[in-house]
C-alpha cells in the first residue's frame, strides 16, 4: 500500500485488528477468489456433494471411484471460495457533525464514522475481500464500487477526510430511506452493507426507513447498522441545569429549553425509539450495534468482530 498519510486510518489500531476475520452470515456471490462461500459450483478445490449424473454433461466431474464401487454415475459438485463485497454506507448529514468540540480531543460523529469506515475497509481488503464506499445526506454524494486492491483505498480515504473535515453546516439534511432504497436496487450481487449513522431523521419517516432496510434484506444483502450517538447528551440529555439553546445542525432552527424539565420525557422517547428499532432489526435479521462515540472505535470494532468470529 502506498505510504500516503491517511488521517482516518490509525495503523496501531489496524495492526491489532488485522488478524480478526469478518465472516459473512449469508451465502454471498462473487468472482474474486477470497474466503467466503459462493452459491456457484465448478472450479474450486473444495468438494461439496455428489449428485446424479445427467446424460450430456461433461464427464470431467464424474467421480470414477464411486462408479467403480456402485456401478452408477455421480457428478461432483464444488463450492468455490469467493470474496465478500462490503459496501460501507456513511451518513454525512449535518447532524453527524455533532458535537462541535473546540480545543478538545473528542470526535464528531462524522469523524468517528470516518475512522470506523476506514478501519473496516482496510480489514476487508486485508483478508482478500472487496470494499467500497457510499456517502449520503439527502442523496448519494459519493459512491465507489467494492474492489479488493489496497490502492483502491486511497481515493476513498481521501474522500472521507474531505467530507469529515467540512464545516459547511445547515445544508446537508438526511434522507436515509430514499438512499437505502437506491442502494438496494444498485447492488445486484449479494453484499455486506455496513450502515454508519446516527439515525436522526423525521419521526414520520421512520416507517419508510424500516421499509428501506427490509428492501436490502429482501435483496439478500447482509446488513449491519452502527448507531452512533454521543450518549451523555443525545441519549441521557446531560446538560447543565440552566436554560440552554439547542440548534438543529441540519436546519439552523433554535429552541430554548430547561434540561431538567424535559429530561425524563426525552429519555423515555429515546428508549422507546431504540426498542422499536432493535425489534425491527431483529425481525429483519439485521445486526444492530449501539456506539457511544466516547468509546474508542477500536474497542467497538474489536468487540463486534470478536462476536462474529463464531460464524464459520
pLDDT surpasses 50 at 242: yes
**Exposure letters 216-240 (e unless 16+ CB within 10 A, then b):** bbebebbbbbbbbbbbeebbebeee
pLDDT surpasses 70 at 44: no
Sequence spans of domains, the chain: 11-26+84-308, 41-79
Q: What is the pLDDT of residues 212-227, one digit of tens each?
A: 999 999 988 999 999 9
Contact 99, 230 (CB under 8 A): yes
Q: What span, in angstroms and rounded, lies between the C-alpha atoms of 275 and 281? A: 10
The reported pLDDT for the residue numbered 92 is 93
Alpha-carbon torsion, ordered 31, 193, 168, 94, to 10 deg: 170
pLDDT surpasses 80 at 88: yes
Cell triple for 130: 472487496
pLDDT confidence band for 45 (50 / 70 / 90): very low
Q: What is the pTM assigned to this prediction?
A: 0.81
Q: What is the pLDDT of residues 150-174, one digit of tens each?
A: 889 989 999 998 888 776 666 678 8
Q: Is 11-26+84-308 a CATH 3.40.50.11740 domain?
A: no
The reported pLDDT for the residue numbered 27 is 45
pLDDT surpasses 80 at 269: yes
Mean pLDDT in residue range 62-79: 80
Q: What span, in angstroms and rounded, lies between the C-alpha atoms of 144 and 164? A: 17
Amino acid at each position: 500500500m502506498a505510504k500516503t498519510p491517511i488521517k482516518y486510518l490509525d495503523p496501531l489500531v489496524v495492526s491489532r485488528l488485522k488478524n480478526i476475520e469478518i465472516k459473512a452470515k449469508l451465502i454471498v456471490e462473487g468472482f474474486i477468489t477470497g474466503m467466503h462461500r459462493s452459491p456457484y459450483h465448478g472450479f474450486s478445490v473444495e468438494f461439496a456433494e455428489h449428485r446424479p449424473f445427467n446424460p450430456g454433461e461433461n464427464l470431467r466431474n464424474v467421480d470414477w471411484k464411486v462408479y467403480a464401487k456402485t456401478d452408477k454415475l455421480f457428478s461432483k459438485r464444488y463450492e468455490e471460495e469467493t470474496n465478500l463485497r462490503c459496501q460501507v454506507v456513511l451518513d454525512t448529514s449535518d447532524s453527524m457533525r455533532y458535537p462541535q468540540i473546540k480545543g478538545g480531543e473528542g470526535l464528531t460523529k462524522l469523524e468517528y464514522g470516518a475512522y470506523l469506515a476506514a478501519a473496516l475497509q482496510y480489514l476487508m481488503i486485508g483478508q482478500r475481500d472487496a470494499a467500497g464506499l457510499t456517502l449520503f445526506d439527502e442523496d448519494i454524494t459519493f459512491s465507489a464500487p467494492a474492489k479488493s486492491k489496497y490502492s483502491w483505498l486511497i481515493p476513498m480515504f481521501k474522500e472521507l477526510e474531505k467530507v469529515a473535515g467540512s464545516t459547511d453546516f445547515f445544508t446537508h439534511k438526511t434522507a436515509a430511506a430514499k438512499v437505502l432504497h437506491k442502494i438496494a436496487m444498485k447492488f445486484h450481487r449479494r453484499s455486506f452493507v455496513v450502515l454508519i449513522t446516527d439515525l436522526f431523521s423525521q419521526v414520520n419517516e421512520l416507517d419508510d426507513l424500516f421499509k428501506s432496510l427490509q428492501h436490502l434484506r429482501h435483496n439478500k444483502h447482509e446488513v449491519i447498522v452502527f448507531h452512533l450517538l454521543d450518549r451523555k447528551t443525545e441519549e441521557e440529555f446531560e446538560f447543565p441545569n440552566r436554560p440552554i439553546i439547542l440548534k438543529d445542525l441540519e436546519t439552523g432552527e433554535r429552541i430554548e429549553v430547561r434540561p431538567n424539565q424535559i429530561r425524563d420525557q426525552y429519555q423515555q422517547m429515546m428508549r422507546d425509539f431504540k426498542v422499536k428499532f432493535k425489534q425491527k432489526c431483529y425481525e429483519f435479521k439485521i445486526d444492530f450495534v449501539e456506539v457511544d462515540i466516547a468509546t474508542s472505535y477500536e474497542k467497538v470494532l474489536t468487540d463486534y468482530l470478536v462476536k462474529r468470529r463464531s460464524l464459520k
